[in-house]
Structure 1
Amino acid sequence: MKIAIMQPYVFPYIGYFQLIAAVDIFVFYDDVNFIKRGWINRNRILLNGKEKLVTFPCIEASQNKLINEVAVNLKEKQYGKLKMTIEQSYKKAPHFLSVFPLIEEVLNSEVNTIARLATKSVQLFANYIGIKTSFYESSEEFNETKGLEKADRLIAIAKKMNIKHYINAIGGKELYDKKYFKNQGVQLNFLKPGIEPYYQSNEKFVPGLSIIDVLMFNDKEKVKELLTNYTLV
């Protein structure tokens, strides 16, 4: 059994989904501080053959608030404009008719925090792809671990689930020490994503875009294949 713990991102890139697919349990780390100008409420899509940064607006977002405390209002005009931008960007993509309704379902939902918006986008797309990983939220199931140091909290969550193998995104390689985890009885590995080029209806491949882009241009079987293109280090 393997576990991963990660802040919730709205429509994240394929590396995030590779991490989900690599584990049995995935915990949305929603009760840690919000990161402004990070990837929690921002992502990139393809518009006219070039990458475009899109932001999902929050209400009074602050790095002094936890992710699950940052509010959103999906009835704001910006969300309607975002939906139209995504539609215009991908209406000619081969899998638009299958994927765009999922995006509409997320953006038309009744969620009122950026955490809920992000977790809904991830879970809905994971289910569409056919990923069988089980999802939890740190604020709901692991609230008693708050206050522990960063590494200690991750270890405590893994131990509560009786899991001895923790997979972290590659960005944590400078933060967490394998020996420290091992001394606590937990094996630590880092997932290094592989971004394999795929057809995007233009000559030059633009890597690392939102999962929206991946699903618009690839069928489910191809996406499942792309999800296995990573290495554990």
Structure 2
Amino acid sequence: MKVGIMQPYFLPYIGYFQLIKAVDQYIVCDDLNYINNGWINRNNILIDGKKRLYTIPLKKASQNKLINQIEIVDDFSRLFKIVKVNYAKAPYYKEVIGILEKIFSYNNRCLSDFVLNSMKEVLYSLRIETPIIISSTLNKDCSLKGKNKVINICKEMGAEVYINAIGGQKLYNKAEFAAQGIELRFLETEIIPYKQFGKEFIPMLSILDVMMFNSIKEIDRMLNRYRFV
């Protein structure tokens, strides 16, 4: 059993979806503390042909609150307009704008629920069928922190392999996981260039950008372009 465990991110980069596809069960941690200036409620897209950050406004967001305790205060009309203006000439604009309409019209404004729903809409479109499990529904030891919390969840899920994003190398040690009978792997995404209006390629943007410029078949090939370290 291969397991991935991450926070819910708003329309994240393709590596996030590579990780979901690479595992047998994917746990979305909705009951961790919110992180200021993280990726839970923001991501990069093309605006005027340049990499720009869009952030979802939140109500009284605090690192003292859990992700599932925070409310979105955005009707997404501004972001929708930004996307329409900046991506209207993208080859797959029509298909993707329909997906965004469904995402933005989701009525639940709980941050974790809204972001999770947006993830599921994208996963459905990309034909990724990995089961998604919400961490707050698991029978786990909530007093644990850091790697101990991750190991506890892995054991609860019966995981033999835990796959984390490449940034996890700063947090987790393979020997410590191996001592608990769990193989730790890190997924490193390739830089995968594609045409963006014929200009110099800007990597690591939101999956929204990838979907605007690539067919589902092309994205499926991209989803397999990574290595384990």
TM bin, normalised by shorter chain, reads: over 0.9
Aligned to 2:220: 224
C-alpha distance in 1 between matches for 2:141 and 2:218: 38
Contact 1:191/1:231, CA 8 A, preserved across alignment: yes
Aligned to 1:80: 77
Partner letter of residue 10 of structure 1? F
C-alpha distance in 2 between matches for 1:195 and 1:61: 33
C-alpha distance in 2 between matches for 1:141 and 1:104: 31
Task: Report 1:1-233 matches (<5 A).
Answer: 1-75=1-75, 79-142=76-139, 144-233=140-229
C-alpha distance in 1 between matches for 2:138 and 2:217: 33
CA deviations over 1:16-62 (Å, ceiling 9, x no partner):
11111111111111111111111111101112221111011111111
Contact 1:49/1:202, CA 8 A, preserved across alignment: no
CA deviations over 1:166-209 (Å, ceiling 9, x no partner):
00111111111111101111110111111200011132001110
C-alpha distance in 2 between matches for 1:33 and 1:147: 13
Residue 71 of structure 2: SS of its match in structure 1? coil
C-alpha distance in 2 between matches for 1:37 and 1:181: 29
% identical equivalent positions = 41
- The alignment's C-alpha RMSD in Å is 1.1
Partner letter of residue 213 of structure 2? F
Contact 1:72/1:112, CA 8 A, preserved across alignment: yes
**TM value normalised by structure 1:** 0.95
Residue 145 of structure 1: SS of its match in structure 2? coil
The alpha-carbon deviation at position 11 of structure 1 amounts to 0.5
Contact 2:56/2:74, CA 8 A, preserved across alignment: no
Residue 191 of structure 1: SS of its match in structure 2? strand
C-alpha distance in 1 between matches for 2:147 and 2:55: 30
Contact 1:30/1:115, CA 8 A, preserved across alignment: yes
Contact 2:24/2:130, CA 8 A, preserved across alignment: yes
The alpha-carbon deviation at position 74 of structure 1 amounts to 4.1
The alpha-carbon deviation at position 99 of structure 1 amounts to 0.9
Number of aligned pairs? Answer: 229
Residue 90 of structure 2: SS of its match in structure 1? coil
Residue 190 of structure 1: SS of its match in structure 2? strand
**TM value normalised by structure 2:** 0.96
Partner letter of residue 4 of structure 2? A
Give unmatched runs, 5+ long, in structure 1. none
CA deviations over 1:127-160 (Å, ceiling 9, x no partner):
1101121101111224x32111311221121121
Residue 189 of structure 1: SS of its match in structure 2? strand
